[in-house]
Amino acid sequence: MRRIIKNGTVVTAADTYKADVFIENGVISQIGANLTAPDAEIIDADGCYVFPGGIDPHTHLDMPFGGTTTRDDFETGTIAAAFGGTTTIIDFCLTNKGKTLRSALETWHAKSKNKAVIDYGFHLQIVEANENVLNELPQVIEEEGITSFKVFMAYKNQFQADDETLFRTLIAAKEHGALVMVHAENGDVIDYLVKKALADGNTDPIYHALTRPPEAEGEATGRAITLTDLADSQLYIVHVSCAEAARKIAEARSKGIEIWGETCPQYLVLDQSYLEKPHFEGAKYVWSPPLREKWNQDVLWNALKAGELQTLGSDQCSFDFIGQKELGRDDFSKIPNGGPIIEDRVSILFSEGVKKGRISLNQFVDLTSTRAAKLFGLYPKKGTIAVGADADIVIFNPDTERVLSAETHHMAVDYNPFEGMQITGEPVSVLSRGEFVIREKQFVGKPGSGQYIKRAKYGKSQQAKTIETAAK
Ligand code: URP
Ligand code: ZN
Ligand code: ZN
């Protein structure tokens, strides 16, 4: 099927211009004025932006966590992602101590195959960098196209790895061409604070935030940066939530250390007071790192604008309020950590960022798509509108006014953390490799049509390693 998107405004991380986009065999074959072909389907994008499909570098679908499993799996999660203008996700594949990395990957392939409606890749968790794991890493990079590894510095007795594992992983990543990612919070200190709070009888959701102070995130961020510098390696810090961490990243980058930072919509528009909602509703906002005092939002927005943070992940990790978040009614530490964000990630950044003048339109595309493509070995196949790129495209109406709500969202969960939020802008149609997944706001995709993407090594995607001066 040949298609031409006409009358839209094409927006990339670098340019904004009026042009038609010609799609053939799933890729963009021409961009220009007045493109025609007798047999091509014409898609009218008048009044709309034509964005490269969003890339969400941080999702947890069908993930066992906190004694339960996330509500959204690879089918519901990727459908919701597509409705929100995301056409590629990179999900976190969990591993088990003593088992091979490949066995973990088989599990994640089984979860996603025949389910995903958009393309996807996997980051791989490293819990213990023993000889077997270190021997397997190069094979996983070369043969499976897994070029990013995740180390948790928190979640003691569950996912947390020690500093030796982080350091060894950084060294191996440098040698073999991968990017290490960290969840940066001091898990040992948090474990102490949680036990103390519970011993003192403090069981409400707000204690989730009070026992995970910003200092614990700042300390772990600084430690991970120092280890990266020592290993002469590269590091991506996920879900940056507070000034303490953002400042450490900016400082390291100004010294030339290769550090990348991601934040998430929830930290840009929600704050710690949500955890104090009555009737246990605060549990809906329990994730890690926790929501912070409101003033941190300005710090994060400024860091995005200045290029000190480079990507926006959703950290999608959804649990129902009823039956799942409720597991922690009498003990905040038993509330499963995570929230449903995958669907609203792109639209919130557009509405709160571009429409409110906090970031430019081109920065928006960079943050939601291009930069993740470059860092995670997907560029230029994905992450831009260019001849030869996959036709992963979002036709976006920048003027629609709407209200976010669980009643209208497509995630499988029973609540939306942004309930009632008024936003401007909406994805109208979404194409994955040239095929409609969302057409005029209706789902027309097919579970199983999403393909697993083997990713290029770190630094091989064009410009991935450019640490540019602040984009003001
Ligand atoms: O609370 C969160 N963020 N849940 C997902 C796991 C993680 O830490 O990213
Ligand atoms: Zn995390
Ligand atoms: Zn996460």
Ligand 1, from 123, 288, 341: best to mutate by most atoms within 8 Å of Cβ? Answer: 288
143 in the same domain as 63: yes
CATH of the domain at 186: 3.20.20.140
pLDDT at 202 over 50: yes
Q: Are 404 and 423 in contact (CB under 8 A)?
A: yes
Output the residue whose Cα is nearest ligand 1's atom 9.
Answer: 315
Quote the CA–CA distance of 215 and 273 in Å, as a whole number. 18
**Residue 157 included in any domain:** yes
Whether residue 344 lies inside any domain: the answer is yes
For residue range 136-181, list pLDDT tens digits in order: 999 999 999 999 999 999 999 999 999 999 999 999 999 999 999 9
Which of 93, 241, 317 most suits a substitution to test ligand 1, by most atoms within 8 Å of the C-beta? 317
Residues 104 and 22 in one domain: no
Residue 470 has pLDDT above 70, yes or no: no
pLDDT at 20 over 80: yes
Map residue 75 onto helix, strand or coil: helix
**Residue whose C-alpha is closest to residue 116's, from 72, 80, 79:** 79
Could you read off the pLDDT of 386-416 as tens digits, one per residue? Answer: 999 999 999 999 999 999 999 999 999 999 9
Same domain for 343 and 440, yes or no, is no
Of 239-248, 344-353, 462-471, the poorest mean pLDDT is in: 462-471
Residue 415 belongs to a domain: no
455 and 354 housed in the same domain: no
- The three-state secondary structure class of 145 is coil
Instruction: Decide if 414 is inside a domain.
Output: no
**Contact call for residues 429 and 436 (beta carbons, < 8 A):** yes
Please report, for residues 92, 257, 264, 312, 362, the alpha-carbon distance to residue 59 in angstroms, rounded to integers and kept in the order given.
Answer: 6, 26, 11, 11, 24
Domain edge (last residue) among 355, 375, 395: 375
Instruction: List the domain range (segments joined by +) for residue 131.
Output: 53-375
The domain that contains 11 carries what CATH number? Answer: 2.30.40.10
Pair 36, 60 in one domain: no
Q: Are residues 330 and 391 in the same domain?
A: no
Q: Tell me which residue of 101, 95, 157 sits closest to 134, measured CA to CA.
A: 101
Tell me how far the alpha carbon of residue 185 lies from the centroid of ligand 1, in angstroms. Answer: 11
- How many CB atoms are closer than 10 A to CB 19? 20
Nearest-CA residue for atom 7 of ligand 1? 288
Phi/psi of residue 3, nearest 5 degrees: -135, 145
Which residue, chain included where needed, has tokens 């094979």? 139
Answer whether residue 471 shows pLDDT above 80: no
What pLDDT band is residue 1 in, cutting at 50, 70 and 90? confident
**Do residue 352 and residue 388 come from a single domain?**
no
User: Is there a domain that residue 416 lies in?
Assistant: no
| Number of domains making up the chain | 2
Examine residue 298 and state whether it is found in any structural domain, yes or no: yes
Q: Could you tell me if 172 and 39 lie in one domain?
A: no
Model confidence pLDDT, tens digit, residues 81-133: 999 999 999 999 999 999 999 999 999 999 999 999 999 999 999 999 999 99
314: CA distance to ligand 2 center in Å?
11
Identify whether 291 is part of a domain: yes
- The residues near 407 (Cβ < 8 Å, ≥ 6 apart) are none
Peptide bond into 289 cis (omega under 30): yes
- The rounded percent of the chain whose pLDDT value lies above 90 is 97
- 106/172 same-domain check: yes
Asked whether residue 155 is assigned to any structural domain, the reply reads yes
Q: What is the pLDDT of residues 334-366, one digit of tens each?
A: 999 999 999 999 999 999 999 999 999 999 999
Same structural domain, 213 and 242: yes
In whole numbers, what is the pLDDT of the chain averaged over residues? 97
Strand partners, 258: 234
How much distance in Å is there from the Cα of 27 to the middle of ligand 1? 34
Domain identity same for 18 and 107? no
330 and 449 both lie in a single domain:
no
